[in-house]
């Protein structure tokens, strides 16, 4: 049996995990694909770096092009990350007829359409299960499991760092800054956490999920993004009082071939399955017209869960190679992109207002909602000994984003409102 030879770009924590699985599970993997799998070449930044895995030094190179241009290599596994240079490596590898497996969400979010089109042209596979939600097989599920259904909504926790922070704030009453510091100390957050806490990481993942779910070319700029840096422990306390948990949710919706995608802190009803997903875990909720509601839960990051998804993609590529069907399972967007207008985006809203503590204030506020056709689900007015102003908590019924934007603009000029302290989407 001729072995399948693999080139590996990157030997960090995930790359090391890939080598461990391929070497350690060789008998199991070979029995599935019908031939041995060999890691033939590995590109690294520093060949002298001490590593906690034994690798034949003759396989190591600091030049990725040596791996890309090696005629013996059938499949390239890219786990080096980044965009500059990486895109060129992958496109060249495709030109040379090599199949690609990547965990690079940034690359696929920004250039996925171009890469997949090239793969289709060259009849090569490009699989990227590990780019979203780590060990959860959500991409394969969207492509294969929902192939006969029409997806109307994808909602999920797709960033473990922010979920860890919000869980600490909810369960222990921690402040945002304290929870972030602990996440950094534990290695869940980078020293510069901007990509995670401002929602950019989640937005890239939702770009990929939206493209696959709705079969249209979703671009990163199509995603509305708000991070969690403005969420206070008071906001979370109010949410819990009303029966909600706060989560950073990616939400993609499609109706009548028009879609909208957002990433934002969201109050989700405590009884909803996603509300109980805590710590660094991820979960993706998918709504199909035929199947109804489904949820996928698991480790969203980490060396071994991510490596498991990569090797599962490797098995799929080799099976296709044996059958001679590489390049036939690519999901290349075929629907015209139609983005919903703000008038057609509906959801419930939570608002916390600081207002003058005097008679007639509530009447003026409710009049503004009525003027823009926003109906109210609940209104609670209370005094706060730490706040000289009164506090009004409002939850609306479903309202269009356009109408709510008009309400908020009107509030800026309403002299009885001192501050719109908080405004969040409400789900479930």
Residues annotated as catalytic are 205
117: exposed, middle or buried (Cβ count in 10 Å: 0-12, 13-18, 19+): middle
Q: Would you state the structure tokens that stand for residue 28, as one six-digit string? A: 């199991």
- State which H helix or E strand residue 293 sits in: strand 292-299
Distances (CA, A) of 391 to 268, 374, 388, 408, 421: 22, 20, 9, 16, 9
Listed in sequence order, the residues at least 6 apart from 402 whose beta carbon sits closer than 8 Å to its beta carbon are 341, 342, 343, 345
**Measured distance between the N- and C-terminal CA atoms of the chain, rounded to whole angstroms:** 53
Residue 224's closest CA among 249, 242, 243? 249
CB atoms closer than 10 angstroms to residue 149: 15
Tell me the β-bridge partners of 353.
392, 420
- Alpha carbon 248 to its chain centroid, in Å, reads 10
Q: What is the C-alpha separation between 277 and 284, in angstroms, rounded? A: 10
Q: Are 110 and 268 in contact (CB under 8 A)?
A: no
Residue 247's closest CA among 222, 210, 272? 272
Q: Would you state the structure tokens that stand for residue 231, as one six-digit string? A: 């969420």
Cα dihedral across residues 407, 412, 416, 420: positive or negative: positive
């Amino acid at each position: 049996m001729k072995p399948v030879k693999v080139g590996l770009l990157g030997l960090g924590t995930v790359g090391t995990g890939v080598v461990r699985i391929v070497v350690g599970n060789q008998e199991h993997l070979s029995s599935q694909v019908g031939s041995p799998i060999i890691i033939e070449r590995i590109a690294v930044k520093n060949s002298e770096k001490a590593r906690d895995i034994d690798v034949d030094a003759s396989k190591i190179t600091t030049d990725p092009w040596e791996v890309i241009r090696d005629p013996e290599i059938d499949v390239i596994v890219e786990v080096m990350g980044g965009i500059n240079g990486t895109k060129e490596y992958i496109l060249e590898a495709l030109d040379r007829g090599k199949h690609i497996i990547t965990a690079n969400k940034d690359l696929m979010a920004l250039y996925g359409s171009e890469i997949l089109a090239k793969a289709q042209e060259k009849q090569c596979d490009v699989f990227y299960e590990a780019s979203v939600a780590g060990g959860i097989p959500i991409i394969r599920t969207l492509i294969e499991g929902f192939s006969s259904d029409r997806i109307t909504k994808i909602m999920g926790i797709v960033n473990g760092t922010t979920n860890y922070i919000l869980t600490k704030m909810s369960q222990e009453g921690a402040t945002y800054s304290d929870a972030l510091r602990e996440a950094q100390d534990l290695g869940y957050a980078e020293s510069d956490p901007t990509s995670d806490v401002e929602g950019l990481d989640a937005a890239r993942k939702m770009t990929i999920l939206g493209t696959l779910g709705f079969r249209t070319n979703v671009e990163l700029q199509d995603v509305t993004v708000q991070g969690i840096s403005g969420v206070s422990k008071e906001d979370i306390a109010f949410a819990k009082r009303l029966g909600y948990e706060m989560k950073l949710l990616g939400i993609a919706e499609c109706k009548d071939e028009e879609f909208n995608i957002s990433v934002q802190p969201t109050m989700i009803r405590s009884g909803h399955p996603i509300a109980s997903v805590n710590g660094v875990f991820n979960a993706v909720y998918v709504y199909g017209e035929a199947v109804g509601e489904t949820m996928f839960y698991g480790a969203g990051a980490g060396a071994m869960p991510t490596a498991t998804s990569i090797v599962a993609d490797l098995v799929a590529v080799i099976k296709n190679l044996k059958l001679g069907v590489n390049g036939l399972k690519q999901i290349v967007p075929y629907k015209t992109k139609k983005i919903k207008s703000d008038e057609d985006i509906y959801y419930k809203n939570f608002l916390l207002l600081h207002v003058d503590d005097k008679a007639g204030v509530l009447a003026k506020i409710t009049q503004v909602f009525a003027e823009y056709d926003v109906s109210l689900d609940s209104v609670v007015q209370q005094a706060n000994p730490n706040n000289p102003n009164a506090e009004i908590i409002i939850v609306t019924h479903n309202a269009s984003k356009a109408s709510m934007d008009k309400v908020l603009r009107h509030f800026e000029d309403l002299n009885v409102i001192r501050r719109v302290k908080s405004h969040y989407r409400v789900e479930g």
